[in-house]
Amino acid sequence: MQRRESRFKKDRWLIKKEVKSLLRSRWLILGFIISPMFAWLFQGAFISFVYDQSTGSGARSKVYFTLEDKGEIGESLYRNISLNQFNLNITQMINITWDEGQALIDNRSLTVWVIIPDGFTEAYTNYTGDHPIGTVQMYTNTGVLRARAVALKIKNYINALIDYRPWVKEVRIQEYSISPEATYGHQLAIFLIMITSVLAPAPYVSQSFAGEREKHTLEALLVVPMSRIRILGAKLISGLSLTTIYMFFTVVGVLVYNWSILARAPNPIEAAIFTVNISTIPLLMLCQFLVLLCSIGIGVVISCLAKDQATAESVNSLILLVPTMVIGILGFTGSINQFQGELFGFFVQAIPFTHAVIILEGILTGSGTLLGLLGNISYLLGFTLVFLIIGAKLFDREAIIS
C-alpha cells in the first residue's frame, strides 16, 4: 500500500515538473492558446466575411444600367430600381450605352449590368401566352460575391414588381457571367497559394539561421574564409532551390485537384468553374515564387533575431498568419481592391502578399495593366530586398553567435 502511494507520489512529481516546465515555455503556451483561437477565428472571419459579402452590409455594389425600352413597364422598372437603390444594396447606378457596357465586359471591370431592351413593354403588354416575351438581360461578374448578391436582389425585385400583372408570372432574366476566369478554382488557387506559400519557407529559414545557431554549427561556419554576405547568399539560394520542390508539388497538387473534380463531373465545361485552368499554372508559379521569396526575406530577419529554431518558427507563423489570413480571404472572395481609400484598405495594400494577389487577379481577369503589373512586382521585390538587407545586417552582428 505504502509502495503504491510512493509510486503515485513519483508520478505526481513528474507531472508537476512537466507542467511547470511547460508553463515556463512562453512560446509553447502561446502556441497552445493561439492555435485553437486562430483555427476558429480564421473560420469565423472567413465565413462572416463571405456572409457579409453575399448577404450582409458588405454586399453592396455599383450597377450599370441601360434602358432601351421606351414603354411604361421598362421605365417603371428603371424608376423603381433607382428609388430603391439603398434597399437593393446598389452603391451607385450608372447609365451606360451598349458600347460602353461591352467595353466594361472586355476589360473585365464590370460588376452588374442590367439591360431593359427595346420593345420590352410591348412584349409584355401584348403577351398572350403563345409567344416568347421580352427579357431583361443581366451581366454579372461571378467572380465577385458582392456583384452576385446585388444581381440576385435586383432579379428578385424585378420579379416581385412584375408579379402584379396577372398574365405575367415571372419576368425572364437572361444572365451572363462576364468573368469566366474568376472561377471557384482560381479563387481557391489564390487562397491556397497565398496561405501555404507564405508559411512554407518558415521551417527551412528557421533551421538554417536560428537552428544553426542553436546547434552551434554557425560558429564554425562563420570562421571559414567566406564573407558573411556570401554565406547568407548561399543560404538564400539553397532556400530558393528548395522552394522549387514546393512549387513543383503545388503543380502536382493542382493537377490532382483538377482530376478529383473532373472524376466526378465528366463534362469538363460544366466542371470548369471548379477547376484551375492549366494554362494559368506558369502565372500561379510566378506569383508563388514572389511570395516565397518575400516570405524568405521576412523569415531571415525573424530567424536572425530569434533565440532558437522553435521560437523562430513560432514567431514567423504568428507574424505572418494574420496578414496571410486577411489576404487569403480577400483573394478568395475577389475583394482585394474593395477597401481602397479606407484605413483597412491601406493596411491591406501595405502587406506585400496583397500585390501577388493583385497580379494574379489582374492577369486572370484581364483587368491588369502592364504598369500596374510592374508596380506590383516592384513592390513585392522591393519589400523583399529591404527585409534581406535588414537580415544581412542582423546576420553580420556579433550577437548572431551568442
Partner 1 sequence: MVSDTVIQTEHLTKIFEKGKKREVIALNDVSLEIDRGEVFGLLGPNGAGKTTLIRLLVGLLTPTSGKAWVLGKDVVTDIDDIRQQVALLPQEAGIYERLTARENLIFYGGLYGIPEEILEERADKLLDIVDLREKENYQVKGFSGGMKRKVLVARALIIEPEIIFMDEPTTGVDTIGARVVRTLLKKLSGEKRQTIILTTHDLNEVSELCDRVGILNEGKLIAVGRPSELEEKYKGANLEDIFVGLVTGEGVYGG
> Contact residues for partner 1 (CB under 8 A)?
215-227, 398, 401
Nearer to partner 1, 202 or 218 (CB): 218
Q: How far is the CB of 402 from partner 1 (least distance, A)?
A: 8
Closest CA to 380 of 354, 360, 345, 343: 354
Q: How far is the CB of 388 from partner 1 (least distance, A)?
A: 22
In whole angstroms, what is the distance from residue 256 CA to residue 21 CA? 44
Nearer to partner 1, 222 or 242 (CB): 222
The distance from CA 36 to its chain's CA centroid, rounded to whole angstroms, is 22
Q: How far is the CB of 313 from partner 1 (least distance, A)?
A: 18
Is the distance from CB of 362 to CB of 372 less than 8 angstroms? yes
Strand, helix or coil for residue 135? strand
Q: 354-366 as b/e, with b when 16 or more CB fall inside 10 Å?
A: bbbbbbbbbbbbe
- The one-letter amino acid code at 93 reads M
In whole angstroms, what is the distance from residue 37 CA to residue 31 CA? 10
Cα distances (Å, whole numbers) of residue 156 to 153, 159, 164, 235: 5, 5, 14, 59
Q: How far is the CB of 244 from partner 1 (least distance, A)?
A: 20
Q: How far is the CB of 398 from partner 1 (least distance, A)?
A: 5
Nearer to partner 1, 218 or 276 (CB): 218
Nearer to partner 1, 106 or 219 (CB): 219
As given in the structure block, the three cell numbers for residue 311 are 521560437
- Where does residue 334 fall: left (phi above 0), alpha (psi -120 to 50 degrees), or beta otherwise? left
- The one-letter amino acid code at 31 reads G
Residues 6+ apart with CB under 8 A from 37: none
Nearer to partner 1, 12 or 397 (CB): 397
Q: How far is the CB of 227 from partner 1 (least distance, A)?
A: 7
The edge-to-edge listing of strands for the beta sheet with 90-95 is 90-95, 61-67, 112-116, 135-140, 172-177
End-to-end CA distance of the chain: 52
Nearer to partner 1, 218 or 293 (CB): 218
Nearer to partner 1, 79 or 215 (CB): 215
Query: What's the 3-state SS for 2-24?
Result: HHHHHHHHHHHHHHHHHHHHHHC
According to DSSP, residue 91 is labeled E
Q: How far is the CB of 226 from partner 1 (least distance, A)?
A: 6
Closest CA to 366 of 104, 185, 142: 104
According to DSSP, residue 307 is labeled S
Q: How far is the CB of 317 from partner 1 (least distance, A)?
A: 23
Nearer to partner 1, 130 or 398 (CB): 398
Nearer to partner 1, 232 or 329 (CB): 232
Q: How far is the CB of 309 from partner 1 (least distance, A)?
A: 13
Nearer to partner 1, 39 or 401 (CB): 401
Q: How far is the CB of 214 from partner 1 (least distance, A)?
A: 10
